[in-house]
A and B are shown apart, each in its own frame.
Chain A
Amino acid sequence: MDIVGNVLPQVLKDEATEDKGEMARLQSFVGAIAVADLVKTTLGPKGMDKILKPTGPGQEMTHITVTNDGATILKSMYVENPAAKILIEISKTQDEEVGDGTTTVAVLAGELLREGEKLIQKRIHPQHVIAGWRIARDVALKTLRDISSENDIESQEFHNDLIKIARTTLSSKLITSDRDYFADLCVKAVLRLKGSSNLDYIQIIKLPGGTIRDSYLDDGFILKKQITIGCKRRIENAKILVANTAMDYDKIKIYGTKVKVNSMDKVAEIEAAEKEKMKHKVDKILKFQPTVFVNRQLIYNYPEQLLADSGITVIEHADFEGMERVAAATGAEILSTFDAPERRDQVLGHCDLIEEIMIGEEKMIKFTGCKKNEACTIVLRGSSIHILDEVDRSIHDVLCVLITTVKNRRVVWGGGNSEMQMAAACEEEAKKVQGKQALAIEAYARALRQIPTIICDNGGYDSAELIQNFKVELQKGNLTSGLNMNDGTVGDMKELGIKECMRVKEQAVMAASEAAELIMRVDDIVKCAPRKRERA
């Protein structure tokens, strides 16, 4: 019914709902802030982890995930609230774009909305809030760029910066106690890429057993496959042929073909022809004179035996990714036809040594001294698969951040330094702006300052006091000060060596502001009737 008492006809479908104005806004604020609060406790070096238990039938019930990674947590949650979905979405994008800061971005957007809600309650129109936020965002980004520094990519300082950034990123993860070790490991891996941003070349192998400390960086390339029985287990100066071809039987690719015979003899003949065809193929392969043959597809016993007889080591059933990595590392071409043995030198890959190694209980194949020395492998060890998964995610984050840093090269001080400086700049700006927008700019500053505050709170320190002291330090002109989370004081980031990648912060601020603005602009939520699903 409307205000005058007319019975309104039903416009939307059954079960569809529409919320307008304040109700809609309240709904989005509640949802977004709830999501932000949920991941907020994982922020910072003293952040806690979450257990994610999958729902659904069957064995998945038993497989749980323990993680500290914002994107992983948010991705695995099923939320109903549309605004909450937006927050999850930006966290995912952050993950894809820079790989780290996934918690920060959700928390920052949540804090912005929390501040926004207060302004709305003061009867300030959302559009004014947005106008203020836009000014604040530009100021914050400008400040961020101004305070960042850049070092030459070849210089020792840049190398040190990378190690510091890796340490900072790792400090909030499970492996924080071994962060120096892993920081060094990751930086070495990334520097091998020589500026290329293809993470594919860095392979991560997880093997339960041993301790985290037993993890290591292998400068060769490790393929998680076995060498076929009856072949040599160690090949020096290997010439590798990488192929993607059917080695079980060659199916006829011409459409509509059918084999029709009228006697047993003919069957035997066809069988022989088939065999011969395979033999022919193997002969062609042999013309390339490889010492190792890697195929993506299955290899049947017959060709396998033929190859082994010729003294070739056979590796079958390599997966697509593994194969591409082998090809990239050894400089081989992936072959599917074998009619040009004269191109041998171009297509064959090369490496100094291939051997079968045992890591823990598993046999693997290790390629050392490859032609193109970009690929490397990080072998992770740990006492349980849950720990390994989490370490894998952490390492992935670090690698992403490092690659982003190598590309962008700008770094800022960590420990909440950049957030506090951005907040201070916003507050300064607010003094110059006329009109209601100024309130929104101040709110933006408060939201930025919430990030170090939450980090303090998570560490169990008195955030109110620490942040105030921090503010004073910055005011005094100590522009490198930041939070020392080990003893709960305000310290000098330069001495502590805490640095962060500017690009990660930049992306977080941009994405969080955009998302907050998007949610703030909504004054009407229409939920369509859920699609009826047929029960299987």
Chain B
Amino acid sequence: MSLAFDDYGRPYIILRDQGQKKRMKGLEAYKSNILAAKAVANTLSSSLGPKGMDKMLVSPDGDVSVTNDGATIVEKMEIQHPTAKLLVELSQSQDAEIGDGTTGVVVLAGKLLEQALTLLDKGIHPLKISDGFDRACDVAIKHLETISEEIDIQANEHEALIQAACTALGSKVVSKRKRELGKIAVTAVLDVADLARRDVNLDLIKIQTKTGGSVEDTRLISGILIDKDMSHPQMPKEVKEAKICLLTCPFEPPKPKTKHNINISSAEDYKKLYLQEQQYFVDMVKLVKDSGANIALCQWGFDDEANHLLLQNELPAVRWVSGTDVELIAMATGARIIPRFQEITPEKLGKAGSVKEVQFGTSNERMLVIENCQCTKAVTILIRGGSQMIVDEAKRSIHDAICVIRNLIKDNRIVYGGGSAELACAIQVLQYADEVSSVEQYAIRSFADALEGIPCCLADNCGLNPITSVAQAKARQLQESNPRIGIDCMELGTTDMKEQRIYETLSSKKQQIQLATQVVKMILKIDDVIAPDDY
């Protein structure tokens, strides 16, 4: 940053290390910020829609991941530019709140910024632009609600849910099996859903991955799968009518928190101590056994002696079960997590139909399946695939689908996809612009243009001519006043998205438009960037 000097040649220093800082002001700052954010949006725009492409990301350690999920892409790109980082956060907040539409939200923000750039060139004040965007956003959201439709999620064996899941899965690498995977996701969510309260606890759905086989081999296990095996190789591999004792204390002599010393000063004490030690193990196993438990799951390790005593007492046990698994098992089987051996009582045991060890492939890897749990149903989706990258991507895709289904259970209003909802909003916003007399009308018109950018982008990715197809769809929407006309991405011969059954949740669309507008407003308010010189 440049320095000003006084009469004696001494610099006026206002900021610390002023000489090493860089400053951008006014229009220059706006443009630089917008261009950086647009660069991120451009990278994502080719991932939008059913024919969108994937991105290959190489991590700092050289690990490769291939993905189509917007939030994952921007997260792994390790973006450095501060304004571009805002878009990363934008995508992540969409992911956290809704779980799907993470690409769409960034692309929309990019289109809005593009429009803002031309408005800035026209000399319109940034605050006027953001004001206009804000008003346009309200109109769009209102219109979305009017064109939304309620669907009956129960009808036709949850057909609507499956279709919505398919829409979410359609853009991913697993799309060839979208129907099967969609069904798996729907069954999983419905199994754990509380339909009366319209709530779904996603913690009850565990997604476990395992390389090998093919994506087709992905299946739903109505129980919990944990990546552990029995602590002793000779313990039984299957326990029926399991009564589970869930421990969070190790099978070891207790370690009091208070610092203490035991001093041994005679041979007698030494012998006593030895007996005491043996007694600990015997007591522990006895306490577990007496409670009626026939399997013990422990978050910690076992001493060799304890391990053998467990085997000798025919009490299968599993050690080093992860904390999240312990909680999940507790929820599903109705077990109470027991922190001390003294507190084991029969009531605290969890019940499950069976616990058994299963094996995969030629490598000697085993996992435990806990089935027919007593309390809430917990389910596991076991994802298989040819390589680590595929199972990782499949996991992200299934997560998206599950989120969509959950959102539909919470709020069963939908809008139609294929860019039709955006197009309908654009038309509405454009009409509204004519009613506004101030400068904001330019911004409002630009907002409509940006909304049209989404179907444009979709058409482009599908290899259609974006301008003709969007113009055609828009014309038909106006003529037939039918907000369901969109882009025929899959070349099925109809542009009516109701016939194609492309469902998106209303909440996701609303959130996309709101979040994108907010971020754009935020970027438009920055007129001064002070940063260290080295970037």
Contacts and interface: CB of A to CB of B under 8 A. Distances in A.
Interface of A: 2, 6, 8-13, 16, 18, 20, 24, 28, 80, 82-83, 85-86, 89-90, 92-93, 96-99, 125-127, 134, 197-200, 244-245, 250, 252-262, 266, 269-270, 272-274, 276-277, 324, 327-328, 333-337, 339-340, 343, 400, 403-404, 507, 510-512, 514-515, 517-519, 521-531
Given A266-B267, A518-B390, 4 more contacts: A244-B308, A260-B264, A521-B68, A522-B55
B214 to A, nearest CB: 4
A257 B273 contact: yes
A337 B303 CA distance: 11
Nearest to B215: A514
A125 B386 contact: no
B388 interface: yes
Contacts of A334: 232-234, 308, 311
Contacts of A258: 261-264
Contacts of A526: 43, 55-58, 73, 76-77
Contact of A517 (B43, B173, B388, B463): B173
Nearest to A242: B234
A86 B387 contact: yes
Contacts of A333: 234, 311-312
Interface string B350-361: 000000000111
Contacts of A250: 274
Contacts of A86: 64, 66, 387, 389
B78 A28 contact: no
Interface string B4-18: 000000000000000
Contacts of B387: 86, 89-90, 92-93, 511, 514-515, 518
A261 B233 contact: no
Interface string B256-299: 10011111111100110110111011000000000000000000
B54 A522 contact: yes
Contact of B386 (A6, A90, A266): A90
Residue of B56, B271, B360 with most chain A CB atoms under a 10 A cut-off: B56
A126 B462 CA distance: 10
B54 A518 contact: yes
Residue of B58, B260, B273, B386 with most chain A CB atoms under a 10 A cut-off: B386
A524 B276 contact: no
A126 B53 contact: yes
A519 B54 CA distance: 9
Given A518-B54, A526-B57, A336 B364 contact: no
A244 B304 contact: yes
19 contacts: A9-B35, A11-B80, A12-B77, A12-B78, A20-B43, A244-B304, A253-B252, A256-B262, A259-B264, A269-B267, A272-B267, A273-B267, A334-B232, A334-B233, A334-B308, A523-B46, A523-B54, A527-B58, A530-B61
Contact of B35 (A6, A255, A324): A6
B274 A528 contact: no
B362 A254 contact: no
B118 interface: no
B233 A324 contact: yes
B253 A200 contact: no
Interface of B: 31-33, 35-36, 39-40, 43, 46, 51, 53-62, 64, 66, 68, 73, 76-81, 84, 173, 176, 211-215, 232-234, 252-256, 259-267, 270-271, 273-274, 276-278, 280-281, 303-305, 307-309, 311-312, 359-364, 385-390, 393, 462-463, 535
Contacts, number: 254
Q: Which secondary structure characterizes the binding site on chain B?
A: mixed
A522 B66 CA distance: 8
B312 A528 contact: no
Contacts of B233: 324, 327-328, 334
Contacts of B66: 86, 518-519, 521-522
B233 to A, nearest CB: 5
A36 B41 CA distance: 35
A402 to B, nearest CB: 10
A269 B266 contact: yes
A11 B79 contact: yes
Q: Which 7 A-B pairs have the closest CB atoms?
A: A336-B308, A511-B386, A523-B53, A531-B60, A97-B212, A514-B386, A273-B267
Contacts of A92: 387
Contacts of A16: 77-78
Nearest to B309: A337
B476 to A, nearest CB: 25
A89 B36 CA distance: 35
A404 B362 contact: yes
B525 to A, nearest CB: 18
A259 B270 contact: yes
Contacts of A199: 362, 364
Contacts of A262: 265
B176 A134 contact: yes
A23 to B, nearest CB: 12
Contacts of B281: 337
Contacts of B309: 336-337
Contacts of B393: 518
B51 to A, nearest CB: 5
Given A198-B364, A518-B173, A528-B59, A510 B386 contact: yes
